[in-house]
Structure 1
């Protein structure tokens, strides 16, 4: 079963094993205190040193893996848990002093690295500074302990390296989150586009089918030949709608202004609405031709379905397309845009075009206009 795209996918077994190895490989540097513990003359010191170092190594790897999992799941690391882990590592290092002696200072390298991986930058910097100062301070205070310059260098180097690892892990986590968001938005956009296209296609086609079927029913007794013609048109429109739906699903459906003008002429005639349409569509760029085609389809669908008009005029220019009628229009009934007009506005926005919907200013009726900016059209001013 596939996981939802917005959920983090579990890491493969290969990467889980790799993560454990990356954490455990650094434990090699605990060989110095371990050898010191194994060479202790008293058995109890050997036991204390070996057991505390073993517990230290297990805890370090476990903490590293836990924090790594938190980052992969895009979760924060609780401050209390982080400080508890650092304190417990330090306590185990100190507990091993009877067996490891001054070589316990090697564990500070791991304490500093864990602090950088777990804590915020300022807090981690304080821990790293204390870990780096501890070897010279303890050498001055405890007889027999030598100042380990290599430990100081190792603390600083390990902290710097872990800082780089932490930043890399953070960037990878952010990148994964961004990729998941992009996938989610792409799916949402595709669903919205498909829903918009299906609405526009079926809304227009089924409206014309309903009008022609109603007309055929009225003409069945009065004019059987005309009724048969209308029924044939219903069949043709149904097949065309089916082809459009298949084209939408297959992402290869096209839209043209010329085709929509021809369909508008047929739809308006079947609805008994006098039509004034241009004889031919102008030559337009592909994107503009498609936008104007959608405009004609949406406008004529609303005229046939909602307006109650007796006359409809379609005007097309290189920079705009208008559909005017003398009816009441959908705004008077619903008071808001339908799904088709919402989809049309989204398409127009891609070409910086403006959509005007509302009552005509020059008389009774309804107007739908889509106009491109002057630099996208012919440069002529809109009326």
Structure 2
């Protein structure tokens, strides 16, 4: 499968949309040809200069304002209202300043003022500007008889405003979609980090606890029974290598947990800690996801018993729909560390199968019990 250069693709996309944005704003300037022709046909040179220069300045400012507002939305920055009104006033001022050269055709610039109000201002304020721009041609014709009221200008104001409203809403939705995609990506990364931290905690918490217990036992046996101490040291080496393999497996996302394996590990860990263990020799056939969940439950429960409970006996019960780790210690079995990561991780795994995790004192008051149960009839 070929590789994709994502940064280059993003750079190309940004450049593509930047050019598209400039073109989208500039293409509308074609409608300034009417006042521009009027200015260029003026008899006096100064009128031609005033009309042409103000229209050029008007077009440049309009395109720049459009691109500026679009970049603000893409960067998720609000458009300052005072600056928006300043830009609109500047556009209107340039349109009015060109009257000596454009005469009544300056009204065409109101089409752009209305469109700019739509993408710069909130909806209600923009609507007010659009209405005023649409009323300006007939009012101007009534006040200045030389300026004919052209219905085409009113229609152009309304049409351009509606078109810009659609473009603005589309840009806003695209911006919201990009923000949502970025948030989804951030949450996915955070979830993956949390999963990795949880798995590493569960793996190393159990393995290092057993390693510490066996190392302590080997130290006590070193003078009394060197052969037994050597066996325990060999187990420590094996467990350390297994923990390393599990960590590598977690990083590579191919590590799995099996109930049978965890039962065997529990038997060894409890024996090394001097705890009388009652562990099933075999496990009932279970679906893969449930078998893995029960394996995690045994690992977490035995780790807590060895590390915290001070128990002398531990019993593990496995049923098709539940697994229990019971001890006669002082507990509590759920506090594997101050943050409770082990139990939190176990509950997260159980939630995927709609299973329940309960930790508390045994009904007879003699010790604690960790129980994980799936609903009856759960096919998982």
Q: What secondary structure sits across from 2:317 in the alignment?
A: strand
Deviations 1:236-282 (A, max 9, x none): 11111111000000111111111111111111111111111122111
TM-score by length of 1: 0.92
How far residue 336 of structure 1 moved from its aligned partner, in angstroms, is 6.5
Q: What secondary structure sits across from 1:12 in the alignment?
A: helix
Choose from 90, 99, 102 the match for 1:100.
102
Choose from 276, 300, 306 the match for 1:304.
306
How far residue 223 of structure 1 moved from its aligned partner, in angstroms, is 2.1
Deviations 1:59-101 (A, max 9, x none): 1111111111110111111222222211221121111111101
Choose from 18, 21, 33 the match for 2:20.
18
Q: Which residue of 2 aligns with 1:365?
A: 367
Deviations 1:4-47 (A, max 9, x none): x9xx9997334323322221221121111111111111111111
How far residue 202 of structure 1 moved from its aligned partner, in angstroms, is 0.5
Any conservation in 1 of the 2:207–2:243 contact (CA below 8 Å)? yes
How far residue 105 of structure 1 moved from its aligned partner, in angstroms, is 1.0
Q: Determine the C-alpha separation between the residues in 2 that align with 1:208 and 1:349.
A: 28
Q: Which residue of 2 aligns with 1:271?
A: 273
How far residue 303 of structure 1 moved from its aligned partner, in angstroms, is 0.7
How far residue 365 of structure 1 moved from its aligned partner, in angstroms, is 0.8
Q: Which residue of 2 aligns with 1:315?
A: 317
Q: Which residue of 2 aligns with 1:63?
A: 65
Any conservation in 1 of the 2:334–2:343 contact (CA below 8 Å)? no
2:252 is the alignment partner of 1:253: no
1:116–1:128 distance in 2 versus 1, CA, 3 Å: same
1:143–1:363 distance in 2 versus 1, CA, 3 Å: closer
Q: Which residue of 2 aligns with 1:44?
A: 46
Q: How does 1:178-197 map to 2 (within 5 A)?
A: 178-197=180-199
Q: What secondary structure sits across from 1:358 in the alignment?
A: strand
How far residue 129 of structure 1 moved from its aligned partner, in angstroms, is 1.6
1:333–1:148 distance in 2 versus 1, CA, 3 Å: closer
Stretch of structure 1 that moved more, 136-145 or 346-355: 136-145
Q: Determine the C-alpha separation between the residues in 1 that align with 2:123 and 2:368.
A: 64
Stretch of structure 1 that moved more, 66-75 or 117-126: 117-126
How far residue 225 of structure 1 moved from its aligned partner, in angstroms, is 2.2
Q: Determine the C-alpha separation between the residues in 2 that align with 1:334 and 1:344.
A: 11
Q: Determine the C-alpha separation between the residues in 2 that align with 1:370 and 1:303.
A: 16
Q: Which residue of 2 aligns with 1:242?
A: 244
Q: Determine the C-alpha separation between the residues in 2 that align with 1:10 and 1:344.
A: 45
Q: Which residue of 1 aligns with 2:226?
A: 224
Any conservation in 2 of the 1:331–1:337 contact (CA below 8 Å)? no
Any conservation in 2 of the 1:359–1:367 contact (CA below 8 Å)? yes
Provide structure 2 residue ranges, at least 5 long, that are not aligned to the other structure: 1-6
Q: What secondary structure sits across from 2:376 in the alignment?
A: coil
1:162–1:135 distance in 2 versus 1, CA, 3 Å: same
Deviations 1:319-353 (A, max 9, x none): 11110001111469899662111111221122222
Choose from 196, 199, 202 the match for 1:200.
202
Choose from 293, 296, 299 the match for 2:295.
293
Q: Which residue of 1 aligns with 2:83?
A: 81
TM-score by length of 2: 0.93
Stretch of structure 1 that moved more, 139-148 or 86-95: 139-148
Stretch of structure 1 that moved more, 174-183 or 346-355: 346-355
1:44–1:62 distance in 2 versus 1, CA, 3 Å: same
Stretch of structure 1 that moved more, 341-350 or 324-333: 324-333
How far residue 355 of structure 1 moved from its aligned partner, in angstroms, is 1.3
